[in-house]
Amino acid sequence: MPAKPDALSQNDSNSSELVQGTLEMLILKTLALEPMHGYGVALRIEQISHGVFRVNPGSLLPALSRMERAGSVKSEWHATENNRRAKYYQLTAKGHKSLARETEQWQRQTAAIARILEAQL
Amino acid sequence: MFRDETTETGELIQGTLEMLILRALARGSMHGYGVAEWIHQTSQQVLKVEEGALYPALHRLELRGMLSAHWGMSDNNRRAKFYQLTTEGKKRLSAESQRWARLSAAVAFVMQAS
Amino acid sequence: MDSGLHAFSLRIKMLFHKRRMDREMAEELEFHQTMLREKLAGQGVPKSELNKAARQTFGDAGRWHERLRELWQFRGLENLLRDISFSARLLRKSPGFTTVALLTLAIGIGANTAIFSLINGLLLRPLPVPHAEQLVVLQIQEGDPEPGYNFSSPLFRGLERQHTIFSNVFAYFEGAPLQVRGRTGNQEVHGAMVSGQFFQALQTPPLLGRYLTPADDQTGGNPEGLAAVISESFWQRWFNRNPDVVGRKLIIANVPFTVVGVMPKRFFGVDPTQRPEIYVPLSTEPILDAPFNMTGGGIHANWLKVMARLKPEVSLQQANAALIPLSMPVVREQVSDADWIANAEQTHFHFAAVSGATGFTYLRALFRKPLVAMFAMCGGILLLACLNLASLLMARSAARERELATRLALGATRRRLIQQLLVESLLLAFVGTTAGLAVSPLVSQSLTTMMLRGYFTGYIDTSIDMRVFLFAAATSLLATLLIGLVPALQATAGNLYDHVKNDRHSRPTNVRQRMIPRILMASEVALAMVLVAGAGLLATSLVRLYRTGLGFDPKGLINISFNMDKQPVEGAALMQLYKALANGLRHLPGVRSVSWEQVQPLAGMTETRDYQTSFSKGDREVYFNTVAPEYFETMCIPLLAGRDFRWTDTKAQGKKIILNRAAAKLLFPGQNAIGQHLLAGDKVSYEVIAVVGDAHYSSIQRAAPAGAYVPIPQSEWKKMSYTAVVRIDGPIAPLAAAAQSLTARLAPTIPPPVMTTMDSVINDSISSQRMMALLSLFFAGCALLITAIGLYGTLAYATARRTSEIGIRMALGAKRAQVIAMVFRQNAWVAIAGCISGLIAAVLASRAMASFLFETSPHDPWVLFVSVAVLLMIASCASLLPAIQAARIDPILAIRCE
């Protein structure tokens, strides 16, 4: 599948990528836990997925700004723990709603794929 | 790629189409329409394969030697192109399934975090 | 990759079954739609709505079909085809550039291929016989640095029986042409004398009949008589390919030989530069060479080339190891002269073998160095042509910056663009190579003719075989990369986005980007400088060769050779004939004087003798000639003291000798030689009657050696052939006819005399120097032309792109002279930097030249100075033109164009 930007690249090579939607869902989920700066989001996703996903800043930042434009996140400038200025992102009400919708969708689809993979030979 | 019939933004999981096609054909040789129908039915109408993606995927797999193709007669006695899994395709299917398991598990980890 | 290979083979199938596969794709998609329609109908969709509904779910079948079709195509191939037609269109749009590019490439690649085909024909091509790699050439090692390649018959006959390491050992001799009786008397035919195992070793079956075997190589021939084998071309010429030729008689040297076989055209023995027409057994040499007899010369006549075929399991190394212990036993068995054996033991005499897969020819030793030098020059020209085209392409692609940047912005990858630019140079290289290949046979043939002038039976097969073809292909590929890669990388590098944004007159600020074309042009100037300096040195050397004092005056000097071998008179009667011929010649119109000589100076043959005097401290080697009275007058060699020979200086009057100044100094140091006596090797005493000026004898390059002359009437030989030397005023043509009829009248039985001018003898003797000098001058001219085109072209492009800038400068008050200086300066620095580095390179490279030069220092300051001057002048002319054009820019027009 050519020409789709690599949103999440996996640690192992030759991965089929997850599309925009999945990345945004993961970002929404992470931000739902607590407001965070972009680097923190990347770090958290990598941590929780046990290193399976490594978020590439080249796709993270565009995704965040797209979500900001769509109104599912909002941002503020804060100082970090080590006194650097960083842009902190926070989920909006709309964001919470779309997280719920996408989570439901994801679960439905993985369930469907599981049915297919487990279907009788 | 997929059209999820229940939502508007259907395209969610990319890169699984080839795996699903290979899985469909693991049951025996089938024509393209049969593959699409089987995926649709088995996923309980959740996953709908776009025809515009199905045939390029089938032909790409054929070119890569994952599938072999022959012309045969369909149930309603029409000439149809049937696809069949090759050894190479079987290997690919098992690799893809394993990868998918890892990938979806990782997403699940993230989604369950609190 | 396996799946890649799979896809490749399927796509190939697609290429051949395009229509069927296309139909099947349509059918597959149609089937799907049919199934959909059936399903929809089952769901109760009304018949009238069916098609519409199916299309809604299915989408645009035409688009899906197109997508499948793309999948099955070779994307690379289709792109390539598109690139080729695009490049061809671009090249057609600039015919000036294309013509220059094709011409320079055709010259460069054609010349290289021509020289390579010569090198291939002379040095590389294996003999066309089975398992040529098993063939070896045998040598004699006697402690000299140079091994000997000439064997005497006894040593060869000893070796011939050695079969421990060799399957066959054979010798051959290609001497004087054979006299074969045809319908109109004797004719000269090129022949080879070969030993018994010659044909067995070369393993080439005859076309007709049989080849010669050891049974034929016996004194008196095989029991049926003397046998001969002929070549296919001789069979054609003399027997019109008549199949009953086997068994026919050929009269060679007045003796009947039976034709036993015909060898096919591809067979020519072992010397790739010869094409013998008749092969006769080596044992018939005394018959064919009469009155001479090399076989009878025994151990003292070294005349045979010996080769062998190794047994399949024996390596060259093993053969050499085995030859050492085998050598002295062969010598002891074959040689009865105890002194000879003792000397051989002392010098560690032994045989050795070197690879003979490419056969053996003495021309190799002669031409290897000049050929390699010429190859280097040609390589230089090709490199120059490539650098030049690279600079021109770069200048042109700079003009195409916007086009390329736009394409890059529209999503073309850099690789695609580089591929397209490379295709352009590939196209140029391909057409250039084709043109070069078309002209190279002409070039190599004329080079061969030039080289082989004076080698009458020489032949070099310069035909284009696989090796030459691969060479040309590799060369043109290299040229493609040289021409295209740097400009392509440069044109697509950098921030191209800026070029789209900015207007076309914005200057790229990247320093490196501006430096590359200048460095290319400077190296071009440097390379041209090296070639010009080299050509200058070779030409100077050639002029000095011609100008060098020969010690005699070659202008208006004619040699007429008479062959007295087969006519009846001898001794005093023959002397009378020579006198009569001289008198006849003297009275021909335009003739000033006539004399006779035994050895023609500078023609390649020499004779030396040892003399001693009470002052000479032993034997001294002196070049020797037998001449008639008036010789020195005719040759214009000054008589320094004493008197000339007379016809009356016979043996009875006491032996007389004339020395040249060098010989007088060698034999009578600090003495007056006139009237003194000297002893020849055979203890005969000679009286010195005159001292004459030194004259060149063996070659022009070597200084005039010590020389001695004895008078013809004193010669020990009863039947000697002499050459008349004739000094004439005016044209030679009337003399030729007159000399012919004079000979026919005075000596009707001898063959027509052979006439040559001394000038042509001299030209032939330095033919390889002449060829090198002429070629290098030609190459230097090409180099200058190419460099001038490059300097002009790149500057003209650069200036054209600065039109508006120059216009503004002029509107702001810049003078025309200032504009000229500004543009000119750009190239001036390039030219000066190129000249300096070229000068350094020329000085460094000149050491390799030294061996080709005669009385010319490889650092000759005048040559180097003139080369620099010529290059600077050419560079100035090439740079001044664009500068003047720039100064003609009308500021108003230029600015309005903005």
For chain A, say whether B110 makes contact (Cβ under 8 Å): yes
The amino acid present at C119, given as its one-letter code, is: I
Which range has the worst mean pLDDT, C188-192, C602-606, C839-843? Answer: C602-606
DSSP line for C291-359 = T--TGGGGGG---BEEEEEE-TT--HHHHHHHHHHHHHHHHHHH---HHHHHHHHHTT-EEEEEE-TT-
Average pLDDT on C65-82 reads: 75
Record the tokens describing residue C241, joined without a space: 């390919």
Average pLDDT on C379-396 reads: 83
Q: Tens of pLDDT along C103-114?
A: 888 888 888 888
- Dihedral over alpha carbons C14, C16, C20, C24 (to 10 degrees): -10
Do the Cβ atoms of C215 and C203 come closer than 8 Å?
no
Counting residues of chain A whose pLDDT is more than 70, the rounded percentage is: 81
Which range has the worst mean pLDDT, C29-33, C56-60, C426-430? Answer: C56-60
Residue C517 has pLDDT above 80, yes or no: no
Residue by residue, what is the 3-state secondary structure of C589-624? Answer: CCEEEEEEECCCCCCCCCCEEEEECCCCCCCEEEEE
Record the tokens describing residue C565, joined without a space: 């071998």
Q: Tens of pLDDT along C672-712?
A: 889 999 888 777 889 999 999 998 887 777 778 889 999 98
Give the span between the Cα atoms of C827 and C830, in whole angstroms.
5
Residue A5: predicted pLDDT: 31
Residue A4: predicted pLDDT: 31
Residue C422 has pLDDT above 90, yes or no: no
Contact (CB<8Å) B55/C67: yes
- CA-nearest residue to A99 within chain B is B111
Give the span between the Cα atoms of C532 and C863, in whole angstroms.
9
Tell me the CA distances in angstroms from C722 to C590, C595, C715, one per residue in order: 22, 10, 11
Residue C360: predicted pLDDT: 87
Residue C553: predicted pLDDT: 86
For chain B, say whether A11 makes contact (Cβ under 8 Å): no
Residue C184: predicted pLDDT: 63
Average pLDDT on A51-67 reads: 79
Which range has the worst mean pLDDT, A12-21, C365-374, C519-528, C823-832? Answer: A12-21
Give the span between the Cα atoms of C833 and C293, in whole angstroms.
66
Q: Measured between CB atoms, which of A4, A45, A117 is closest to B97?
A: A117
Contact (CB<8Å) B74/C31: yes
**Helix ranges restricted to H, C627-719:** 631-635, 661-667
Q: Measured between CB atoms, which of C7, C60, C68 is closest to B55?
A: C68
- Give C367 to chain B, closest Cα distance, Å: 57
Q: Which residues contact C719 (CB under 8 A, 6 or more apart)?
A: C291, C564, C565, C570, C571, C574
For chain B, say whether A119 makes contact (Cβ under 8 Å): yes
Residue C55 has pLDDT above 90, yes or no: no
Give the span between the Cα atoms of C262 and B55, in whole angstroms.
70
Average pLDDT on C232-254 reads: 91
Give the span between the Cα atoms of C31 and C35, in whole angstroms.
6
Q: Tens of pLDDT along C313-370?
A: 999 999 999 999 999 999 999 988 888 888 888 888 999 999 999 988 878 877 888 8
List the beta bridge partners of residue B48.
Answer: B3
Q: What is the DSSP letter of C248?
A: -
DSSP helix/strand/coil, C515: helix
Q: Tens of pLDDT along C821-831?
A: 888 887 888 88
Question: CA end-to-end span of chain C, whole Å?
Answer: 55
Tell me the CA distances in angstroms from C808 to C798, C824, C893, one per residue in order: 16, 18, 10
Global ipTM: 0.84
Average pLDDT on C109-138 reads: 90
Q: Measured between CB atoms, which of B15, B26, B46 is closest to A112?
A: B46
Which chains have 3+ CB pairs within 8 A of B? A, C
Q: Which residues contact C572 (CB under 8 A, 6 or more apart)?
A: none
Q: Measured between CB atoms, which of A16, A22, A101 is closest to B107?
A: A22
Contact (CB<8Å) B13/A18: yes
For chain A, say whether B68 makes contact (Cβ under 8 Å): no
User: Which residues of chain B have a CB within 8 Å of the CB of C29?
Assistant: 51, 55
Contact (CB<8Å) B103/A18: yes
Record the tokens describing residue B54, joined without a space: 């199905």
Chain C positions with Cβ closer than 8 Å to B = 2-3, 6-7, 10-11, 24, 27-29, 31-32, 34-36, 38, 57-60, 63-64, 67-68, 71-72
Do the Cβ atoms of C623 and C685 come closer than 8 Å?
no
Do the Cβ atoms of C798 and C505 come closer than 8 Å?
no
Residue A81: predicted pLDDT: 74
Residue C364: predicted pLDDT: 83
Give the span between the Cα atoms of C352 and C136, in whole angstroms.
9
Record the tokens describing residue C490, joined without a space: 């440069």
Selection from C314, C743, C749 nearest residue C561 by Cα? C743
Q: What is the DSSP letter of C148?
A: B
The size of the B-C interface in CB pairs under 8 A is: 68
Q: Measured between CB atoms, which of B36, B63, B66 is closest to C71?
A: B63
What is chain C's mean pLDDT, rounded? 84
**Helix ranges restricted to H, C360-465:** 362-399, 401-409, 414-451
Confidence band (pLDDT; 50, 70, 90) for C508? very low
Give the span between the Cα atoms of C95 and C103, in whole angstroms.
12
For chain A, say whether B87 makes contact (Cβ under 8 Å): no
For chain B, say whether A121 makes contact (Cβ under 8 Å): yes
Contact (CB<8Å) A109/B102: no
Residue C495: predicted pLDDT: 47
Which chains have 3+ CB pairs within 8 A of A? B
Contact (CB<8Å) C24/B55: no
Contact (CB<8Å) B43/A117: no
Contact (CB<8Å) B50/C36: no
